[in-house]
Structure 1
Amino acid sequence: MRKSYLYNEIADNIADKIKSGVLKAGEKLPSVRNLSREHGISINTAKRIFLELEARSLIWSKPQSGYYINSVSYLKLPLAEASQPIPIANTREPDLLMNDIYSTMRRKDLTLFSIGVPSGTLLPSAKLKKEIQLATRNLQDGGTDYEPLQGNVKLRRMIAARSLAWEGNLKDDDIVTTNGCMNALSLCLMALTKPGDTIALESPCYSGILQLAVSLGLKVLEIDTHPITGIEIDALKKLLPEINVCLLVPSFNTPLGYCMPDNNKKEIVSLLSEHNIPLIEDDTYGDLHFDAKRPKCCKSFDKDGNVLWCGSVSKTLAPGFRVGWVAPGRYKEQILKLKLIHSISSNSLINEAIGNFLLTGKYENHLRNLRRTLQENYQKYASAIATYFPAGTKVSRPQGGLALWIEFPKHVDTEKLYNQALKHHISISPGKIFTLQEQFQNCMRLCIGLPWTDDLELKLKQLGHLAKLN
């Protein structure tokens, strides 16, 4: 444990010095042997530190010479602003532009910066096909029968086992499987609310959650949100008397990509529990952390079953498989009743296949590669934005996940930019779809889950040119 801690500590310390400018672009780092001697670590551990920094695109190696500092000019881009939505519950219908965007998700002629999932080329499709074949042979009925209402036992055991990494300490009996995370969120909201109730959300917020809330007849209260730390707790406190339920994506949410600090998560869990306000936690992106360690969840601090923790593999492994789950705490019976009414059972064959994929360690191996790719993509996207986008453009600094939030100068209309970009076979997500209020018209979300190529960089250059003309 000590070696692992020391390795992470040294790598993060060097990374911080590079990002802060203490170590300058082009400077040479100490040799592997000198780093080993300086910190009292093995040569192999020192090599691992350099490999980690190289994977983060912070350094590069020159054969027979050593390691040198990369340029991190993208970090000089100004940070996107914290949101300040009007503190009034809203029943306005979500912007229909979202429907247009998602209608293009299968078009092969478009560069889909607009769809927040990893490209299929980054997913282990061949291995998953083998798991489905294996599940067909192993299930007694070949996967044709209903599975238990609570869900596949193997899958629930593996989800529970993985919760140990973030101190969730769940058991398989704590978990109910669902048809993707949106189904889990839907079951939670139906169990906890009635039409006319008020739900508190981050601002900006994933457009699908906004649509779900409004479809259930809920009033949406958008909370001030900082692009690094998440919702402003003081703003939440002032609005508590109006709130019936709170739904947050505290780890690498879309579109901001922030990771709420542990102390904030703990305080929010305690605050909501004290006021008997349920917290629905969407942890879809939690496994996509850029740092060495997975962040804790709000569920980590839940002492009385007031947090309903939801997740899925839709953003990490297989969007089309629709495998999700919820650990509903004290609301388990209500969730099971609703699942029986709305779906009876999850997909037996697919859930068995995913359960086995997690059991054999293949999922964690895949995640390591995917996380490295997403972090490198973030840096390359941001560098391209610094080079090609209009002066004054601001960006988020995601600590994980799939999204990059862009804030243009006020005169840029991203709905207009969306329509212009489509003519160049580029699809983006304008900021107005992430709110029910009149805000974010000069913002957009870009998905960083596409493989980086020369053509992709050209598309970002075209997008920047169009924004300059806007």
Structure 2
Amino acid sequence: MDLLYRKLADELAGLIASGGFQAGDRMPGVRQQAQQHQLSIATVISAYRQLEDWGLLEVRNRSGFYVKPRPLAQIQAPRVHVTTMRPAPVSGQDMVLQLVKAANDPNIVQLGAAVPASEFLPTRAIEQALTKVARQQRVRSANYEFSPGAPELRRQISRRLAEARCAIHPDELIITNGCQEALTLALRAVTQPGDVVAIESPTFYGLLQVIESLGLEALEIPATPQTGMSLEALELALSRWPVKACVVTPNFSNPLGCSMPDANKQRLVSMLKARGVVLIEDDIYSDLGFSQTRPSLLKALDENVILCSSISKSLSPGLRVGWIAGGIHQPRIEYLKYVLNLATATVPQLAVAELLESGQYERHLRRVRSDYAQAVSRMTKALIETFPEGTKISQPQGGFVIWLELPGNIDSFDLAKQALAAGISIAPGPIFSASKKYSSFVRLSCACEWGSRVERALATLAGLIQGYSPR
């Protein structure tokens, strides 16, 4: 058996290396391989285990063996943008509204907004859940579900968090209109206008808009595509500035796609706790890691970390269901939620609870993680083949966005306008910075409906970059 399993492992490794199996692909079942190669099941399992040891496959619970996303040696990561750290008001967010509007225009190739195309969403299951709720709970569906929100939804969220080794009682959760509202409530609860908030740089532009709307100042802390926020830079900033709160996306951040190591998470929590700085955790992408193992949460290390999340990226952006666990700040957050908009819509809450309780959400995740891994791999491959030499590309291990550093002296704001005129939406780098950094960077969404239209759009973008001249 020793020679047979090694021979099969070598053959499959060759297929993976040549692209016969792509990152995120599910390998043929053990019985199928055994029949095809006329081998015993034990031999095939040994071959798969060997590929797992080589770092080529990963096991997903009750789902089989999958090709593991792996670093591509020929890709250079975007550089870390290091400048003098100083609190500043947020500026340069004007183009975001254009980006959002373009996401709803069917004539535009959508590579800018981080909104999954419908093929990545369980639309049929969502439709069935909404119909079931509307039919079985007519009276309740027509009324407010006042804060803290539907008990059955909070129970299901609590259960999932417990499975991620983060114990939060249902009564400690408040349902929100997506993660954006959760972040807004968290910052409103712990800051006053003029306060300083430490953030990753680059960071999600929605957070920057929240900071701007609340009259806060952003202190940008450089982050790497590999491990996230630089804790050395944060420590230096804390010694110089009166930081009131720190907002971090430790797992598959947007736009870098990085995941903070567990040791860094522990150090971050301890550092901020010792200085009395409120830590706000944006956990919106944790369910979308390419590995089956869900990464750890900062909230699990300190109950007073404010946890914000939603199902907008993993299940449906249109349902607008999120949540927040505020620890000692919970009473204030619940009051602010009531004042802001009374309640989150009832039907979407009950529908999400149904999808969680029935197991359909978990089944969807097992599929969509693989889909996103393939989408990122496919986009990366296309960029390597199409974009000019010198383009640097992030290699996320979760989520569905890619961060690019473009070669040459390119103004990505101007490039985005040229691309939009050509029917293509991209996200220019400066909107991910409070002070308009990242002028030669762009973010692309990989969660698009792939086909010749997207391939032509990438070729057009490559041409605009290659022959770039300011307009």
Q: Give the TM-score normalised by structure 2.
A: 0.85
Q: Is the 8 A contact 1:85 1:222 kept in 2?
A: no
Q: Is the 8 A contact 2:85 2:219 kept in 1?
A: yes
Distance 2:196 2:404 in 1: 29
Equivalent in the alignment of 2:293: 293
Q: Structure 1 145/32 Cα, relative in aligned 2: closer, same or farther at 3 Å? A: closer
Equivalent in the alignment of 2:269: 269
Which of 97, 104, 111 is 1:99 aligned to? 97
Q: Is the 8 A contact 1:155 1:355 kept in 2?
A: yes
Q: Is the 8 A contact 1:432 1:441 kept in 2?
A: yes
Query: SS in structure 1 opposite 2:175?
Result: strand
Is 1:469 the counterpart of 2:453 in the alignment?
A: no
Distance 1:278 1:48 in 2: 45
Equivalent in the alignment of 1:64: none
Residue 270 of structure 1 aligns with an amino acid whose one-letter code is S
Q: Structure 1 73/220 Cα, relative in aligned 2: closer, same or farther at 3 Å? A: closer
Aligned Cα root-mean-square deviation (Å): 3.2
Equivalent in the alignment of 1:250: 250
Residue 316 of structure 1 aligns with an amino acid whose one-letter code is S
Q: Structure 1 154/110 Cα, relative in aligned 2: closer, same or farther at 3 Å? A: same
Map 1:6-405 to 2 at 5 A.
25=18, 42=42, 45=45, 74-139=72-137, 141-241=139-239, 242=241, 243-302=243-302, 305-405=303-403
Q: State the Cα distance separating 1:138 from its structure 2 match.
A: 2.9
Distance 2:360 2:149 in 1: 21
Q: Give the TM-score normalised by structure 1.
A: 0.86
Residue 189 of structure 1 aligns with an amino acid whose one-letter code is L
Query: SS in structure 1 opposite 2:206?
Result: helix
Residue 159 of structure 2 aligns with an amino acid whose one-letter code is A
Structure 1 window deviating more from structure 2 (248-257 vs 118-127): it is 118-127
Q: Structure 1 94/387 Cα, relative in aligned 2: closer, same or farther at 3 Å? A: same
Q: Structure 1 149/72 Cα, relative in aligned 2: closer, same or farther at 3 Å? A: closer
Q: Structure 1 394/234 Cα, relative in aligned 2: closer, same or farther at 3 Å? A: same
Q: State the Cα distance separating 1:373 from its structure 2 match.
A: 1.1
Runs of 5+ unmatched residues, structure 2: 1-8, 22-26, 35-39, 59-64
Distance 2:408 2:219 in 1: 24
Query: SS in structure 2 opposite 1:222?
Result: strand
Equivalent in the alignment of 1:434: 432
Q: Structure 1 168/72 Cα, relative in aligned 2: closer, same or farther at 3 Å? A: closer
Q: Structure 1 45/132 Cα, relative in aligned 2: closer, same or farther at 3 Å? A: farther
Distance 2:228 2:344 in 1: 33
Runs of 5+ unmatched residues, structure 1: 1-13, 59-66
Q: Structure 1 42/140 Cα, relative in aligned 2: closer, same or farther at 3 Å? A: farther
What is the CA deviation profile of residues 42-73 of structure 1, one whole-angstrom value per residue up to 9, with x for unaligned ones? 467558769999xx999xxxxxxxx9x99989
Residue 215 of structure 2 aligns with an amino acid whose one-letter code is G
Q: Structure 1 400/71 Cα, relative in aligned 2: closer, same or farther at 3 Å? A: closer
What is the CA deviation profile of residues 424-446 of structure 1, one whole-angstrom value per residue up to 9, with x for unaligned ones? 21110010111122421110000
Q: Structure 1 143/49 Cα, relative in aligned 2: closer, same or farther at 3 Å? A: farther
Q: State the Cα distance separating 1:27 from its structure 2 match.
A: 11
Distance 2:290 2:201 in 1: 23
Equivalent in the alignment of 1:459: 457
Distance 2:446 2:286 in 1: 16
Q: Structure 1 229/48 Cα, relative in aligned 2: closer, same or farther at 3 Å? A: same
Distance 1:258 1:82 in 2: 13
Q: Structure 1 155/75 Cα, relative in aligned 2: closer, same or farther at 3 Å? A: farther
Q: State the Cα distance separating 1:171 from its structure 2 match.
A: 1.7
Query: SS in structure 2 opposite 1:244?
Result: strand
Query: How many percent of aligned residue pairs carry the same amino acid?
Result: 32
Q: State the Cα distance separating 1:263 from its structure 2 match.
A: 0.9
Q: Is the 8 A contact 2:149 2:343 kept in 1?
A: yes
Query: SS in structure 2 opposite 1:320?
Result: coil
Q: State the Cα distance separating 1:411 from its structure 2 match.
A: 1.2
Q: Structure 1 415/27 Cα, relative in aligned 2: closer, same or farther at 3 Å? A: closer
Figure out how many residues of one structure are paired with residues of the other and give that number.
435
Q: State the Cα distance separating 1:25 from its structure 2 match.
A: 4.2
Distance 2:74 2:354 in 1: 44
Residue 426 of structure 1 aligns with an amino acid whose one-letter code is I
Q: Structure 1 257/26 Cα, relative in aligned 2: closer, same or farther at 3 Å? A: closer
Is 1:449 the counterpart of 2:447 in the alignment?
A: yes
Distance 1:380 1:140 in 2: 44
Distance 1:114 1:153 in 2: 36
Structure 1 window deviating more from structure 2 (453-462 vs 353-362): it is 453-462
Structure 1 window deviating more from structure 2 (134-143 vs 230-239): it is 134-143
Q: Is the 8 A contact 1:94 1:211 kept in 2?
A: no
